[in-house]
Amino acid sequence: MRILIVKTSSLGDVIHNLPVVSDIRRHFPMAVVDWCVEESFAAIPPLHPGVGKIIPVAVRRWRKHLATGATWREMAAFRRNLQADAYDAVIDTQGLVKSALMARQARGPSLGYAADSAREPLAARFYERNFSVARELHAVVRNRRLAAAALGYALDDELDYGIEVAPAGFSWLPHRPYVVFLTATSRDDKLWPEANWLALGRQLNSLGISAVLPGGSTVERERASRLADGIPGAVAAPAMNIPDLAALLAGGRAAIGVDTGLTHLAVALKVPTVALYTATDPGLTGVLGVGFHRNLGGKAQIPSPEAVMVELQAALA
């Protein structure tokens, strides 16, 4: 059996789809599972040993350069790559018109959400078969239920992201236990106040635990450096790729993160995690996994450093 998963973005959504691969391989051990994903997030699916071929797509970049010949040549190459293999099932767990069109172009029956379940109901028209999955379920559960319905197996309660990464051995890491502070997110209203990070970091330092602060963009790394300067024993990490970030997280005693995909990656790695929400409701898209994890806050609710520390102490214990 050869299966293609279409889940293109974003970082958290791609991570939420990893348990689908575990489910498929548990029920069909010899299945080959390929994955179509946005180029920016193409490093995530290979973290799962059950994923085969990666088919990168660049819709976000192509939209900005539609008038260039290079873009159209890349689009043609993507289509050839998408159609290079025949599939027994092409499952679109994204539920958007653009992802449904990609699934429809692949060589195999396209399967996805019904109109009452898809994020964009029009997407359902492009699937050969579609399935209703309650919108009130967590995103991870929705992905798993769709794949189970599409492939005809009974879904069990075993939630497995399927990734295992060796802890980092970076020379710049502190020579004592550390907690990873994931301070960066896509929207300013999702940020946790810097004063809170400083207070939490100082409390951890008093316990002999360092804070390590990664950052992607220039602005994010500047924030990380600014916070590290105010926290004794803290380290601002250099620019890192996804595999290195996964290794950094795997070596931490715990992770504290705002509403960002890397916080979900920490949970997928079974790292004790406290997720902080200030502008969004974590009910359907909060962190979900096995082991210790907590969602704190919500819309217009800012968790206090004291509340975070209470949860973190339970994780560290």
Does one domain contain both 264 and 198?
Answer: yes
Tell me the pLDDT tens digit for each residue of 121-162: 999 999 999 999 999 999 999 999 999 999 999 999 999 999
Same-domain check for residues 234 and 182: yes
Note whether residue 73 is domain-resident: yes
- 235-244-93 Cα angle (round to 5): 125
The answer to whether residue 56 scores a pLDDT higher than 90 is yes
Take residue 245 and report the two structure tokens written for it.
Answer: 């970030």
Residue 83 belongs to some domain of the structure? yes
Distance CA 305, CA 203 (A): 9
Predicted local distance difference test score (pLDDT) of residue 312:
93
What are the residue ranges of helices labelled H in 257-304?
261-268
Last residue of a domain, one of 109, 135, 151: 151
| 8 A C-beta contact, residue 162 and residue 26 | no
Decide which of 104, 134, 151 is a domain's last residue.
151
Residue 26: inside a domain = yes
Amino acid at 138: H
Same domain, 198 and 112: no
135 and 20, same domain (yes or no): yes
pLDDT in tens, 259-313: 999 999 999 999 999 999 999 999 999 999 999 999 999 999 999 999 999 999 9
Mean pLDDT of the chain: 96
Residue 173 located in a structural domain: no
| Residue 303 falls inside a structural domain | yes
| 194 and 287 belong to one structural domain | yes
Tokens of 262: 């890397």
What is the pLDDT averaged over residues 39-52?
97
CB atoms within 10 A of CB 261: 21
Residues 142 and 267 in one domain: no
Same domain flag for 136 and 6? yes
Q: Which two tokens stand for residue 290?
A: 């096995």
Domain housing 97: 2-151
pLDDT digits 0-9 by tens, 74-97 = 999 999 999 999 999 999 999 999
- Indicate the residue type of 302: I
Residues 125, 6: one domain?
yes
> How far is residue 140's CA from residue 107's CA, in Å, rounded to a whole number?
26
Please give the pLDDT value at position 233.
97
For position 312, which CATH number holds? 3.40.50.2000
Q: Output the pLDDT for position 168.
A: 85
pTM score above 0.85: yes
Q: Total structural domains in the chain?
A: 2
